[in-house]
Homo-oligomer: A and B are copies of this chain.
Amino acid sequence: MEGQSAVRILGALAQEHRLAAFRLLVRAGREGMAAGEIVAALDIAPSSASFHLAQLVNAGLAIQSRHGRSIRYAPNYTAMGELVGYLVDNCSGGKGCGEVPGCGAEAPALP
């Protein structure tokens, strides 16, 4: 993952409603949720939700698909995994990352 896309993904998650939406999607699993369900869960205007969901899709964190007359959003685990990998690679100061239990990050890779 490059720094530029890391910034895009971080920016997509750096908003209360979007982080909440993504967590909902993760919780819902691979099938994701319909836009209407997300709107109901987040308790914001439909147009606002659409705006935020579009940002998640744009950042690659969510995948949009039509199911009948509703539109479903599913989480993209790969993008999140790459973000975490990027952060872990930038987390270690050379002595290993003692703050993330179970993660063996040794190499401070800085392109």
Seen from chain A, the residues whose Cβ lies within 8 Å of a Cβ on chain B are 3-4, 6-7, 10-11, 13-16, 19-20, 22-23, 26-27, 29-30, 75, 77-78, 80-85, 87-88, 90-94, 97-104, 108, 110
* B3 close to A14 (CB less than 8 A): no
Tell me the bound Cα distance from A99 to B1 in angstroms.
13
Residues on B with C-beta less than 8 A from A94 are 29
* A87 close to B90 (CB less than 8 A): no
**Chain A interface main SS type:** helix
Tell me the bound Cα distance from A104 to B104 in angstroms.
11
Q: Can you list the 6 inter-chain pairs with the closest CB atoms, starting with the nearest?
A: A81-B99, A10-B14, A11-B14, A14-B14, A29-B93, A10-B13
